[in-house]
Amino acid sequence: MLAAVWLSFGSGCAGCAQSGLGVIAGPINDPTNRTLRRDMLAFGLSQFCTEMVKHSAPLKLNEDQPVIGRFYPANCTSKQLPNGDIFMTFGGRGYAWTNLSKKISFGMDGAVVYDEDFLMDGSTMYAYFRTRQLQSSNFQTRVIESPAANFVNQLTPIGDNFGKQLVTTELQKGFTVIRDSNGSADFGLGVIEKGAHPAHPFDVHGSSKISYENTRVEVHQNQRDFIGPIVVEDNGRALYVSGTVDGIQAVDVLFMRKSEAEQSLDYYLNFGQVGPLAGAPIVGDVLQTGVPYTRTLPVPAGTYYMVIDNTPFAGQVAPPNNPLDDRAAVVSYVIQIGDAP
């Protein structure tokens, strides 16, 4: 749920002289210096919430499975408690997909206390956010696409129960932020041991580009995935995207500006059945099975979304609509931000 936080640490801790910390990794990692490490983390945590709302959080049933939805944080507060722990509240909206409900959209609020620390592996920082206490988690279903599941939900809150289970399980795991000295960051649920990395479909470790997201998503028949917001802070930059698809012949990959994308996302969250997008994409590509996809998209400073579309209502692909044979598009992709060519 809190995958977005790696961005906050990546930008907020830019002044921590990370490479210098790597030189003295031994003393820094000493268990007796934990208070010093927490004081250093406080510099990055000052931007914790500011950056959290700039990124969506992919949702998975298990860490080794594809993304099935997203949570878009809209508000966040954080403060350091007297014992050094972090108390954070957050709220937002999102969507997920299940066989029973098809698309389910929701609103959610939560409050969590994290026990935070970091260790150095050379010049790479491993920041650990262990869940000390899950104080509250409120999940409210907004739309259920399947009419049958929607009817059942009126009798018994299956949607709310599923959401609470998904959110509670993920929040209780805590997370690890892995930040390289060049500003690139990685993320994984639970505790990732120093020197290790979570599994990703594309190996871009050591690249000079900043990785925004490197994962695998499952987009079912008549569904979309809105990957973003992708914030490009300076002119003269480009989005570098690579991807593959399995499960179906082809799927549309659409790049959109913030205004049109977020209005389209509003439609997606508020209506059961999918429809046209709210505006034309900047660029539209077709991702085909067996054909590796690459796109370099120079963009001015701004906010963007990449939309994976498995519907006949946008893009060039018109996938067959067979209610008895839902063939999901399983898309592996990496999105990076770097200097324009």
What average pLDDT does this structure show over 299-328?
Answer: 91
- Among 189, 220, 250, give the residue marking a domain's end: 189
Range scoring the smallest mean pLDDT among 98-112, 165-179, 202-216: 165-179
- Residue 241 contacts residue 334 (beta carbons within 8 Å): yes
Lowest mean pLDDT among 27-41, 76-90, 215-229: 27-41
Residues in the chain: 341
Asked if residue 47 belongs to a domain, the reply is yes
> Which amino acid makes up residue 48?
F
Query: Is the residue at 205 inside a domain?
Result: no
Task: Please indicate whether residue 147 or residue 83 has the higher confidence score (pLDDT).
Answer: 83
Instruction: Give yes or no: residues 87 and 132 share one domain.
Output: yes
Query: 280 lies in which domain range?
Result: 210-339
Pair (31, 153) in one structural domain: yes
pLDDT recorded at residue 64: 81
How high is the pLDDT of residue 160? Answer: 58
Mean pLDDT of 33-44: 68
Q: Among residues 60, 91, 59, 58, which one has the least CA distance to residue 73?
A: 91
Is there a single domain that holds both residue 86 and residue 234? Answer: no
Task: Give residue 110's pLDDT.
Answer: 86
Q: How confident is the model at residue 157 (pLDDT cuts 50, 70, 90)?
A: low
Residues 266 and 297 in one domain: yes
- What pLDDT score does 54 carry? 79
What digits encode the pLDDT tens for the residues 302-312? 999 999 999 99
The alpha-helical segments, DSSP class H, found in 252-298 are: 258-270
Residues 299, 331, single domain; the answer is yes
Domain boundary among 160, 189, 218: 189
Asked whether residue 142 is assigned to any structural domain, the reply reads: yes
- Which residues does residue 119 pair with via DSSP β-bridges, in sequence order? 126
Question: Both 88 and 137 in a single domain?
Answer: yes
pTM: 0.83
Q: DSSP strand E in 32-184: where?
A: 57-59, 69-80, 86-98, 102-121, 124-144, 175-179
Q: What is the mean pLDDT of the chain?
A: 82
319 belongs to a structural domain? yes
113, 132 contact by CB (below 8 A): yes
* Position 169 confidence tier, pLDDT thresholds 50, 70, 90: confident
Position 53 scores a pLDDT of: 78
Beta strand 293-299 with 250-257: parallel, antiparallel or unpaired?
unpaired
From 158, 189, 220, the end of a domain falls on 189
Residue 294, domain member (yes or no): yes
Same domain, residue pair 20 and 151: yes
Higher pLDDT pick, 180 / 128: 128
What's the rounded Cα separation, in Å, for the pair 284 and 269? 22
Burial 284-304 (b: 16+ CB within 10 A, else e): bbebeeeeebebebebeeebb
The residues near 5 (Cβ < 8 Å, ≥ 6 apart) are: 48, 51, 52, 129, 175, 177, 187
pLDDT at 158: 56
The CATH number of whichever domain residue 315 belongs to comes to 2.60.120.680
Q: Angle between the 34-45 and 5-12 helix axes, to the nearest 10 degrees?
A: 100
Q: Is the pLDDT of residue 297 over 80?
A: yes
Residues 42 and 90 occupy one common structural domain = yes
Vertex 323, ends 322 and 324: CA angle to 5°? 90
In-domain check, residue 257: yes
220-230 tens-digit pLDDT: 999 999 999 99
Whether the per-residue pLDDT at 194 is higher than 80: the answer is yes
Q: Is residue 102 part of a domain?
A: yes
Would the pLDDT of 94 be above 70? yes
Give 88's contacts (C-beta < 8 A, 6+ positions apart): 48, 49, 76, 77, 78, 111, 112, 113, 114
Output the pLDDT for position 205.
64
Q: Percent of the chain scored above 70 by pLDDT?
A: 79
pLDDT digit string, tens, across residues 234-256 = 999 999 999 999 999 999 999 99
| Residue 204 included in any domain | no
For residues 70 and 144, state if they share a domain: yes
Asked if 168 and 221 sit in the same domain, the reply is no
Structural domain tally of the chain? Answer: 2
User: CA 266, 268, 271: angle at the middle one, nearest 5?
Assistant: 100
Same domain, 168 and 34: yes
Q: How confident is the model at residue 7 (pLDDT cuts 50, 70, 90)?
A: very low
pLDDT band for 336, please (50, 70, 90 cuts). very high
pLDDT in tens, 98-107: 888 889 999 9
Whether residues 134 and 276 share a domain: the answer is no
